Amino acid sequence: MVTIYYIVSSITFLQFYIPLVIEATRLGYKNTFIVRLNYKMYANPLSRTNIAILNSYVQKYNIRQIRYDEVDIKNIKGVVFTVDGDIYGPPREILLIGNLLFPLNPDNTLKISMTEHMNFMSSYHAYIDKVDYCIFSNKHFLQQFESHNDTVEISDDYTLTRDKSFNNHKNLFLGNTKFDNIPTEKEIFTRFKLNPTKKYCLFLFPKERTHFSSEHILNIYAHLKRIGFTIIVKSRPKDKSINLNLRGDVFVNGEFYPNDSVSLMKISQLCIISSSSANEETVFSKIPCCDLISDLRKYERNQYLLDDRIYTRIEINEWKNISFKKFISVIKKLERKNSNYFDVIKEKYLFTHKNTSVKIFEFIKQNHNDFLQLEN
């Protein structure tokens, strides 16, 4: 039986891989995770905490699991999926040690890289020559990087310059698998033990920074409560633990399959983010979004989605001590959840198909079916 391979260098990749596993299984293929170390412990799939999580998915979806030191990577044959070229972070030397994409035999493997949030930006030019394709959700996602006039500081150790183009024939715009197989509303209410009669606001907690305080966050919470929202606070495992008084009415800390943020957006009426690329997720989920700017760098994520009817930004000096009157005026200008206007934006800037994993395997079958015949 033909095997589909997945390079697992972060536990967070499960949200992208499991939908592919489900589709591959439906098509009659076997699935094998090749798991390697990650020096960032929160993401390391072989850490004591994460290996238990990984094993639960492996058992549930009948996936074969191989450690990086138990396989001759050069002899792999067939389709191999990776995320961001198996480079977790900017391509510093320490992050390239143990990379499993580079040793693959290009004659025997079809190498497909997907993208995790905005992480690809600093690693793309280090891996694009090593893959056959790189999958993005839509063409506008990349076009925003082609319009910069000078240099843009992306992270503390990476600057996007005019010579770093993302225009490449290897780029495919097929969608994003993290949006596949989102549970029903009933399943989501049950999973998170939520009351379906309440009105929820999903608050994606910001990365800790020095130019705003907990009092500023609590002020936003007070306004949301006054409007009648029950606040769901979602944080990420890699971020610092937040104080109990900042955890809202419901606190969620997870980032695996199915995607928690997208699931919670499905049953919420409003989403608050903070200098995050999650506005793509809000468009997909057709939920109004308010972005409390907290990142003071010039670079702004997903600028092409800025539309005061569905996604609006409030600069940091405005939102830190924003009055209820001003806050409610911003919220009232936004479209209601699932309005028809979201369909227009979603079709223009995202995608309308139901399952990206299906699209990916259809593309492989139509263009590289020989790689779906190789057996190890």
Q: For the residues 319-342, what does the mean pLDDT come to? A: 96
Say what the pLDDT of residue 324 is: 97
Say what the pLDDT of residue 238 is: 75
- Interior CA angle at 142 toward 136 and 147, to 5°? 180
How far are the Cα atoms of 74, 79, 371 from residue 107, in angstroms, in the given order? 10, 11, 10
pLDDT exceeds 60 at position 149: no
For the chain, counts of helices (H) and of strands (E): 13, 15
Say what the pLDDT of residue 150 is: 61
Average pLDDT, the chain: 90
pLDDT digits over 337-360, tens only? 999 999 999 999 899 999 999 999
The most confident of 169-178, 207-216, 255-264, 290-299, by mean pLDDT: 169-178
Q: For the residues 145-155, what does the mean pLDDT come to? A: 61
74: which residues sit within 8 A by CB, 6+ positions away?
103, 104, 105
pLDDT exceeds 70 at position 279: yes
Q: For the residues 111-140, what does the mean pLDDT come to? A: 90
Please confirm whether the linkage preceding 90 is cis (ω < 30° from 0). Answer: no
pLDDT digits over 70-86, tens only? 999 999 999 999 999 99
Say what the pLDDT of residue 160 is: 60
Say what the pLDDT of residue 151 is: 65
In this structure, of 1-10, 37-46, 316-325, 339-348, the range with the lowest mean pLDDT score is 37-46
Say what the pLDDT of residue 90 is: 62
How far are the Cα atoms of 33, 109, 112, 273, 367 from residue 370, in angstroms, in the given order? 21, 10, 15, 44, 9
pLDDT digits over 207-225, tens only? 876 678 899 999 999 999 9
Say what the pLDDT of residue 85 is: 94
pLDDT digits over 51-70, tens only? 999 999 999 999 999 999 99
Nearest Cα to Cα of residue 26 among 252, 180, 200, 204:
180
CB 199 within 8 A of CB 230: yes
* HSE-CB of 45 using CA atoms within 13 angstroms: 24
Instruction: State how far Cα 196 lies from the chain centre.
Output: 26
From first CA to last CA, the distance across the chain in angstroms is 9
Q: How confident is the model at residue 308 (pLDDT cuts 50, 70, 90)?
A: confident
Q: How confident is the model at residue 22 (pLDDT cuts 50, 70, 90)?
A: very high
The most confident of 81-90, 161-170, 291-300, 355-364, by mean pLDDT: 355-364
pLDDT exceeds 90 at position 97: no
pLDDT exceeds 70 at position 255: no
Helices 14-26 + 356-368 axis angle, to 10: 60
At 172, is the secondary structure helix, strand, or coil?
strand
Q: How confident is the model at residue 140 (pLDDT cuts 50, 70, 90)?
A: confident
Say what the pLDDT of residue 275 is: 85
Q: For the residues 228-234, what does the mean pLDDT come to? A: 97
pLDDT exceeds 60 at position 148: no
Q: For the residues 305-328, what does the mean pLDDT come to? A: 93
pLDDT exceeds 80 at position 92: no
